[in-house]
Structure 1
Amino acid sequence: MIIPPAIHVSASRRHVATRWLCTALSVVVLIWLAGCQGGTQQVLDLESPQAREARRAAAHAIKPQETVGSGPNRIGLITANMAPGGENGRERDIRDGAALAVDELGRAELSLLVENTDGSQQQMRDAAKRLAEQGVKLVAVSAVSEPVEVVREALGTQPVPLLVLRSDPSGSSPDTFYFTSDRVDSAVEGASYAVASGRARLVVLTPSDLTARESQRLDRGLSRYGIRPDLVATSTATFPGEGASAAKIKDIDAVLVIGATDADVGALSRLRANGYLKPTATVLGSSNWALAAYKRPEFAGSKLCLFGPENGSRMTKAYLQRYERAASTEAAYGFDIIALTAGLLRAHGPDGITAKNIRSPNGFLGAAAAFRFEADGSVRRTCSIYDVQNGGVKLIDPAPRSF
């Protein structure tokens, strides 16, 4: 079954319950993820936080090399869990999410070879060489402090797909895929949701720290959906209340505010004060907003496109039961490394873990919703839409489970 073009992704939310999933991975993981519904399991807390953390650390102690699973198909993961500053929460969650997925999705088929490094070029290089010698079919890298080319070179001439848990694909090779989603991805998907809902006239407010590379990705992402903003301006813009510029952007019905600093709030307030916005205008945020932003009255009723695991799913329950903490977005990314691999094995067999198959336009389904890869190796994910209410967020539209 061929998935409709990307321009229809947001509109497909109304029909997602009736659509078939398009790859074997989607079928396998959907069955597993949908196995349990309801609220998150409660853990009886009879320990102090310090004692519980000490017990958890002892039960899941980090070693330089670890193997999870006993299957013949070997997958590598290079982390920075041995960094001098101690165990990193992000790295830990990725490793734990991947380990959980091996047990739940493919322990008999997969072996996850984890190389916990200090994040330095030398240790990353050594880890990649060890993994290459063991014949791994795919390598994921969560360590982000050094260039990924260090790992690619150490793998040698073998066409081993590389999954990098970063969001920027600049300078990547054809066999390299970038696996995480960031504020630009969130902003683009949020804007597509608003436009699909009839909010055609859009102003984009960019934060002062938006890089040139991020700006290019933002433009390209909006263009992919056919979105042409009426105005793209920084949060320091003055927005005069009269003249040709004012006439051009009158009656705006959506504002995309990527940042959430005082400067961004000020720019939004100036747009409102100068009468540019319709009374019913929607404010769109991004995944970069801090929790404190939800409490700002200027952002009440804003819409956010957020990536991450679905609360109450089987993955989040299993993660909580095993690790005694809630599953983060990073844990879902770790889980999805294995979900992707297990799905490729089921769909294509032991020789199916290839860059060509990873680029399937049908995409895949994991703990962090549906995802697929673009030509440049960047990832696209469906996201859930939340409404900012009472200092927090409320889910109003779950992420589509296919493209």
Structure 2
Amino acid sequence: MRRSEHGRQSDRRNVSRAILALVMVAAATVAACTPMSGPARPSRPVAAPPQRVETAPSPQNLPRQPGVDAPLPNMTAGTLGNDGLVRVGLLVPLTGRGAGAGQALSNAAQMAAFDMGDRRFVLQPYDTGGTPAGAARAAQQALSQGARLLLGPLFGASARAVGPVAAGAGVNVVAFTTDPGVAGGNVFVMGFLVAEQVDRMVAFAMGEGRTRFGTLTPDETYGYAAASAFRDRVAARGGQMVAAQTYAPDNPDLREPARALRGADAVLIPDAGDGLRAAANGLAYVDIDSRRTRYMGTMLWDDPDLWRESALAGGIFPAPPRGSARAFDRKYTDAFGAAPPDLAVLGYDAVALAAVLARTPGGARFDRATLTSAAGFSGVAGIFRFRPDGTVQRGLAVMEIQSDGTVAEVSPAPLSFDGGGRLGF
């Protein structure tokens, strides 16, 4: 019995090592690209599902192999699984709410399928229409047509609708939503969670010797979520909250809430645009300036227009590894003629992960134990792993806004997770 269990543990470790090594190829594939080169010729193209989904035409430099993956006429669940193919369903809004984001996710997903899929890997896209009901129907169709893993949907409410449908078929779901509340059971959340972002800020600030924290947040859902996560992370890491202030998003004068933050040596401002400018100006007016106090943001700050604000010089924000993210942006732009939105990289990394798991030694592995591998995975957006509760843990870099309107990486993204379940910074 002991020897058998030891053997099983050894197998799991070997699978984890193989998965991590293979997924790192996905990041290397993109990072090695230049603007001159288009995506690699696919060894397995994206399949159209039996019921046609209207999508934008693929660009000319994403070639297909005619006839290899034609639509599947009269295919039923009973006939699937005997052709040696590994089918993965992609659930994104190609019409309705979020169609632009859905198309970008689909584009990036195609890139990953071409780069990483072998001849047995088939990516099947389905339009959710941007609604929970549409997502549930798309999931049912994908499952009936042999999908062994579902990637998507985009929105939290849609993920809630898809989870039970997939669970009934014993299939796991990797959703693109940023709502951690939908994670659990067979649903894994892959979006850039605000809790992960603020934790990176707290860890960096405490590494500088800062222990007194404050928040200046917009009076809206995102602001409340960021402030709540920030309080939790400050307490967990042994810091002290000096004050937590909110403001109306349309209030241009924030001097009064800013005064309450005197005494903090790091302040989180999870906002963008005019709200962030008003917050920074309010803090500077009451002599809480970025030369002495760390202004900290979320990924909302990853905007070159904001970097030109002199009051934000010295401020920091989390971001995926710059090198691989820029290589992905160039490759996507070269292929599709427009720069990708930030979330497009999730489509690439999710499909790259699925393609790698599809060729795991011993057969495709989309089970919970594999998805929650402690070693994690390395993608274009950096290292990530799924916790047992279904939420994602990521390794993010820290960027600092410079006085000349540029940004500099002041703390690189980690390259691996340590054995204690924490990032190996």
Q: TM-score range by the shorter chain?
A: 0.7 to 0.9
Question: Residue 108 of structure 1 is aligned with which of 119, 134, 138?
Answer: 119
Write the distance in 2 (CA, Å) between the matches of 1:30 and 1:264: 36
Question: Residue 165 of structure 1 is aligned with which of 164, 171, 176?
Answer: 176
The CA deviation at 1:78 is 1.0
Q: Which runs of structure 2 are paired with 1:323-362 in the superposition (5 Å)? A: 323-347=336-360, 349-362=362-375
Kept in 1, the 8 Å contact 2:154–2:177? The answer is no
The CA deviation at 1:263 is 5.3
CA deviation profile, 1:303-358 (whole Å, cap 9, x unmatched) = 12123773576644543443233344322100111222234345564352112221
Write the distance in 2 (CA, Å) between the matches of 1:277 and 1:349: 58
SS of 1:103 mapped into structure 2: helix
Kept in 1, the 8 Å contact 2:30–2:380? The answer is no
Write the distance in 2 (CA, Å) between the matches of 1:226 and 1:28: 37
Cα pair distance change 1:264/1:213, threshold 3 Å: closer
Aligned residues: CA RMSD:
3.6
Question: Residue 229 of structure 2 is aligned with which of 201, 213, 217?
Answer: 217
Cα pair distance change 1:313/1:121, threshold 3 Å: closer
Q: Which runs of structure 2 are paired with 1:132-281 in the superposition (5 Å)? A: 132-144=143-155, 146-155=157-166, 157-210=168-221, 212-235=224-247, 238=256, 250=263, 252-260=264-272, 262=274, 264-274=276-286, 279-281=291-293
Write the distance in 2 (CA, Å) between the matches of 1:329 and 1:25: 25
1:285 equivalent in structure 2 = 297
The CA deviation at 1:282 is 2.1
The CA deviation at 1:266 is 4.7
1:51 equivalent in structure 2 = none
Write the distance in 2 (CA, Å) between the matches of 1:36 and 1:167: 24
Q: Which amino acid aligns with 1:335?
A: Y
Give the TM-score taking structure 1 as reference length. 0.75
Cα pair distance change 1:338/1:225, threshold 3 Å: farther
2:394 matches 1:393: no
How many percent of aligned residue pairs carry the same amino acid? Answer: 22
| Greater RCO structure (CA 8 Å; 6+ sep) | 1
Kept in 1, the 8 Å contact 2:149–2:173? The answer is yes
SS of 1:304 mapped into structure 2: strand
> How many residue pairs align between the two structures?
359
1:73 equivalent in structure 2 = 86
The CA deviation at 1:167 is 1.0
Q: Which runs of structure 2 are paired with 1:366-377 in the superposition (5 Å)? A: 366-377=379-390
Question: Residue 82 of structure 1 is aligned with which of 86, 95, 116?
Answer: 95
Kept in 1, the 8 Å contact 2:397–2:412? The answer is yes
SS of 1:350 mapped into structure 2: coil
SS of 1:28 mapped into structure 2: helix
Write the distance in 1 (CA, Å) between the matches of 2:176 and 2:134: 18
